[in-house]
Structure 1
């Protein structure tokens, strides 16, 4: 990619023919809420310097949510919220907050849109198995080589086939956002009036770089400047900045992220040569093979959340999947090492399987946690692996909530008590060995059925299987000349009004300066700002979407 010092330069998206944009309706089991969803794809080819890549990777995609009673054309909407995903996160993760925000605004007479962006690297994902609607068919497709709809899975993409991603860093990411906006809303004055730019987690940092960027190669002209594409900014459990400092814990310790002590030139040379991994992953859980299991688990809960799950017995017996299961479903270190009892030794409903994978009282990684309820149907005990309950070891990585696990293999059917049934009269009120309640109604905010739908029914993934390593290394090397020169208009970060919404129990809890006037969603975890149900256990409307809708309504 050719660059002019101090500017982001590339071919701007120009006039489009009929074969350069598609929009496809998305049909889901979401309750009628007055929201229309579609998947939009826009052809925006990468520069030739990126080299060989799949044809699908010359397209940008997003999920478009709009008021069913509002205008068909985006340019006629009252506001458009443009959301960048966090690390290892895809457009599907925004499903609940997008629907809730559009619906809240419509209730108050405002017809807005919410665009959930997918990063370009998600072009490598194959949703064929998930789209079948049957989780056992999906397992056979992704892990056993069986065909679905006449197609055979090509396998997960290895580092050797990701050479084009060696250049897919912060520069191209913000350029993609600009080119998409320019293609969909060609009138810059309209963008400045109607578009609100933001994101979740790492998406707040990407928004910061976008706000400070220059896109025409001439810093003296500012119509193209990032901050002049937005009427305001929103940050969901993040801040609009150009630093990763606020997001401690959002990147797991055991990923293959290279040593940044190498310096920008050495890191780039490693990515170009393939010596360094071009896609971020970890030995268990956080890699394409295992993250696919989240969508498959969601499929079972969508079909019948209360039915006994057959998925654990149907999973492949390879080392990667089995190690992940041990990591997520071991009571203590001895169980993890021995592999017994294993998850397949417990009777679990589809809801309990998904809850075990995603709930903050089960999964031990803070950035993957949501508050969707609790186990039910049988006795539970403290889960002391990888850290003991009450420990303050790496709270940014593991979280601070007490973890629990079923205690009777080959015993009762463990069910899942959804968020809105925690604290009911029939709730057993499970407690830790030290007497601490594992959870309470005020700590549960997300509906497990909605989470399942977001994982299993979206045409663009909830998770991100191929996250570009360069996107993180660029930001971690923000003081290097190669990255510093991208911040052309530093005043752009504060040039527009900003709404900052924090998860009360999330990664940034208590760490954001008060002068940002953040809205705090009590009891929320990092993912809950995206997945929370429209009505909370206190009977009040969900606060993240309520504040986003209010922010979108406020005259800019």
Structure 2
């Protein structure tokens, strides 16, 4: 799969598109623009395109780039399927999770199309690209892909190298003020705009609505929403969750009491406006636009030249945001985090190993960013930060947990990366002999994962995630129905249709929580990100379980209702 997503565009065309979108208010007037994703046809019977929809923000949103009057989605379908999505046997519409872009669900989408074809069905999967993705500058990724240069994206986003006269300048909080008006209500209406590309009869009989992580809660809001002309549940024929739930099951009183004990101010349930007023998009180390863009550059280097020694670590700037990010990903204990030792900047590692250091389940300290993509070569030692080696995760799988390790890169030896399907059957061990992972716990192809993250059409991360959307999604689960949330009028919407819950067994996000009224499928070996990125070929020789279980469920409980 290494060469699967070689997407190419001319640099002059890219620059022209960027300038047109950002500077000319009426430059893009077409309501629907569909663009083939170059290189997405790979012999597996699946093809992709990116669909951009004109969906202007209301005047009350304030000044914003013209590009932000559009939303989009990755359209993934069978090559031999019908051209009109309405004629497909089913359409799965997926909402990504927190800081997730449409690309984060691309491998899953391809797996679903392939699994459905094996059952004699032609289906489509649409992965939504939320509105705030309009602020991302993909020129570095696109130019790097076009020139096959694994260093160009890093040079552009981190090194401030010009590309055809353009210098990367991330959007400031001040320039993104309009995102303070992009909360749950706007996102739910954008969700409907995507669904409305299909006729109502198709929505009610063929459309499966689902989401990953926070995207599940957004989907739950959609189906409970009062749109005035109809309740949201009439837009779908069934639901699916990807390591999440449609309803949060949060004990509001208990949670607020714990928060109140930790804070010096009096909390109210309605706090989204307070948070949104502070900053329009999430920017907390390491989840800052600068850091996320750097991770994108790591991913593209790993896609284009996975086995080449990386030049990026040594060139990471000595600035507070980067220092804290590097310390977080490198530290083996609290002292190491405080002192910056060992220093990732000194690592002699391949491009794939650098990506693994920040995203792999065996190394990343951030639970909701973990993917099971393999393990490093060489000697590794235990990590005891931010939680002790082998401990349970905390905060619903968000922080730490599991057996995390760090390569001994102080000795200067080249650290390479073993893909998910290249580990010995007995597993791999730390320097003191403990098995920290086995093939059974590795499910995502690092090459496909890298290409997914660095997709110039729709990358795997959302660099400017609206703070209001995060706050209101949480607030809704606490039971608030104030302001825009008053439209959550159909609490029984989830029970109107069949639902299946697909849970990552090695993620703590929904551990121990009941399903949304349907079966709960435990995906062994999967971490939080793996539900969207797992490879078609699995180490146990069995069908990829998420796509297999989901398509079987839909065929039995949804598509049979059409007959």
Q: TM-score, normalised on structure 1?
A: 0.87
Distance 1:315 1:30, change over 3 A: farther
Distance 1:527 1:212, change over 3 A: same
Whole-angstrom distance in 2 between the partners of 1:304 and 1:481: 50
Whole-angstrom distance in 2 between the partners of 1:392 and 1:547: 28
- Once the two structures are TM-superposed, the CA of residue 332 in structure 1 deviates from its matched residue by 2.5
Whole-angstrom distance in 1 between the partners of 2:235 and 2:294: 38
- Once the two structures are TM-superposed, the CA of residue 458 in structure 1 deviates from its matched residue by 4.3
> Which residue of structure 1 lines up, in the alignment, with residue 25 of structure 2?
none
- Once the two structures are TM-superposed, the CA of residue 301 in structure 1 deviates from its matched residue by 1.2
Structure 2, unpaired ranges of 5+: 1-27
> Which residue of structure 2 lines up, in the alignment, with residue 123 of structure 1?
134
Structure-to-structure mapping, 1:417-428, within 5 angstroms? 417-424=418-425
Structure-to-structure mapping, 1:125-144, within 5 angstroms? 125-133=136-144, 134-144=149-159
- Once the two structures are TM-superposed, the CA of residue 398 in structure 1 deviates from its matched residue by 2.5
Whole-angstrom distance in 1 between the partners of 2:140 and 2:106: 20
Query: Is the Cα–Cα contact under 8 Å of residues 280 and 469 in structure 1 kept in the other structure?
Result: yes
Whole-angstrom distance in 2 between the partners of 1:404 and 1:245: 35
User: 1:330-362, CA deviations, whole angstroms, 9 ceiling, x for partnerless residues?
Assistant: 223333333243113221111111111111110
> Which residue of structure 1 lines up, in the alignment, with residue 529 of structure 2?
527
Query: Is the Cα–Cα contact under 8 Å of residues 206 and 242 in structure 1 kept in the other structure?
Result: no
- Once the two structures are TM-superposed, the CA of residue 146 in structure 1 deviates from its matched residue by 2.7
Q: 2:216 aligns with which of 204, 209, 229?
A: 204
> Which residue of structure 1 lines up, in the alignment, with residue 19 of structure 2?
none
Whole-angstrom distance in 1 between the partners of 2:76 and 2:461: 19
> Which residue of structure 2 lines up, in the alignment, with residue 388 of structure 1?
388
- Once the two structures are TM-superposed, the CA of residue 310 in structure 1 deviates from its matched residue by 1.5
SS of match in other structure, 1:19: coil
> Which residue of structure 1 lines up, in the alignment, with residue 124 of structure 2?
113
> Which residue of structure 1 lines up, in the alignment, with residue 473 of structure 2?
475
Structure 1, unpaired ranges of 5+: 1-16, 219-223
Q: Is 2:234 the counterpart of 1:235? A: no
Distance 1:245 1:465, change over 3 A: farther
Whole-angstrom distance in 1 between the partners of 2:509 and 2:328: 25
- Once the two structures are TM-superposed, the CA of residue 317 in structure 1 deviates from its matched residue by 3.1
> Which residue of structure 2 lines up, in the alignment, with residue 13 of structure 1?
none
Q: Is 2:42 the counterpart of 1:43? A: no
User: 1:450-496, CA deviations, whole angstroms, 9 ceiling, x for partnerless residues?
Assistant: 11110113411211111111112223332333255222222211100
> Which residue of structure 2 lines up, in the alignment, with residue 443 of structure 1?
441
Query: Is the Cα–Cα contact under 8 Å of residues 245 and 510 in structure 2 kept in the other structure?
Result: no
- Once the two structures are TM-superposed, the CA of residue 260 in structure 1 deviates from its matched residue by 8.9
Structure-to-structure mapping, 1:260-409, within 5 angstroms? 261-264=267-270, 267-268=272-273, 271=276, 274=277, 276-282=278-284, 284-376=285-377, 378-392=378-392, 394=394, 396-409=397-410
Structure-to-structure mapping, 1:139-154, within 5 angstroms? 139-153=154-168
- Once the two structures are TM-superposed, the CA of residue 96 in structure 1 deviates from its matched residue by 0.7
Distance 1:258 1:228, change over 3 A: farther
Query: Is the Cα–Cα contact under 8 Å of residues 28 and 453 in structure 1 kept in the other structure?
Result: no
Query: Is the Cα–Cα contact under 8 Å of residues 93 and 455 in structure 1 kept in the other structure?
Result: yes
Whole-angstrom distance in 1 between the partners of 2:266 and 2:555: 42
Query: Is the Cα–Cα contact under 8 Å of residues 209 and 242 in structure 1 kept in the other structure?
Result: no
- Once the two structures are TM-superposed, the CA of residue 18 in structure 1 deviates from its matched residue by 7.1
Q: 1:175 aligns with which of 183, 189, 199?
A: 189
Whole-angstrom distance in 2 between the partners of 1:439 and 1:320: 31
User: 1:386-439, CA deviations, whole angstroms, 9 ceiling, x for partnerless residues?
Assistant: 2221334726333431111111424321111111122248x6x31364x53111
> Which residue of structure 1 lines up, in the alignment, with residue 69 of structure 2?
58
Query: Is the Cα–Cα contact under 8 Å of residues 387 and 400 in structure 2 kept in the other structure?
Result: no
Query: Is the Cα–Cα contact under 8 Å of residues 40 and 47 in structure 2 kept in the other structure?
Result: no
- Once the two structures are TM-superposed, the CA of residue 47 in structure 1 deviates from its matched residue by 1.1
SS of match in other structure, 2:127: strand
Whole-angstrom distance in 1 between the partners of 2:283 and 2:249: 21
User: 1:118-155, CA deviations, whole angstroms, 9 ceiling, x for partnerless residues?
Assistant: 111111111100111234222232234332244332x2
Distance 1:450 1:485, change over 3 A: same
Query: Is the Cα–Cα contact under 8 Å of residues 139 and 314 in structure 1 kept in the other structure?
Result: no
SS of match in other structure, 1:165: helix
- Once the two structures are TM-superposed, the CA of residue 174 in structure 1 deviates from its matched residue by 0.7
- Once the two structures are TM-superposed, the CA of residue 30 in structure 1 deviates from its matched residue by 7.2
SS of match in other structure, 2:435: coil
Query: Is the Cα–Cα contact under 8 Å of residues 393 and 402 in structure 2 kept in the other structure?
Result: no
> Which residue of structure 2 lines up, in the alignment, with residue 513 of structure 1?
514
Distance 1:486 1:63, change over 3 A: same
Query: Is the Cα–Cα contact under 8 Å of residues 105 and 549 in structure 1 kept in the other structure?
Result: yes
> Which residue of structure 1 lines up, in the alignment, with residue 115 of structure 2?
104
Distance 1:304 1:474, change over 3 A: same
> Which residue of structure 1 lines up, in the alignment, with residue 8 of structure 2?
none
SS of match in other structure, 2:49: strand
Whole-angstrom distance in 2 between the partners of 1:465 and 1:351: 22
Query: Is the Cα–Cα contact under 8 Å of residues 136 and 314 in structure 1 kept in the other structure?
Result: no
Q: How many residues align?
A: 515
User: 1:287-328, CA deviations, whole angstroms, 9 ceiling, x for partnerless residues?
Assistant: 100011221111111112122112212333322123211210
Query: Is the Cα–Cα contact under 8 Å of residues 139 and 315 in structure 1 kept in the other structure?
Result: no
Distance 1:307 1:65, change over 3 A: same
User: 1:191-236, CA deviations, whole angstroms, 9 ceiling, x for partnerless residues?
Assistant: 11111101101111111111111212x6xxxxx2211111100100
> Which residue of structure 1 lines up, in the alignment, with residue 232 of structure 2?
226
Whole-angstrom distance in 1 between the partners of 2:422 and 2:155: 35
Q: Is 2:200 the counterpart of 1:188? A: yes
Query: Is the Cα–Cα contact under 8 Å of residues 359 and 371 in structure 2 kept in the other structure?
Result: yes
> Which residue of structure 1 lines up, in the alignment, with residue 89 of structure 2?
78
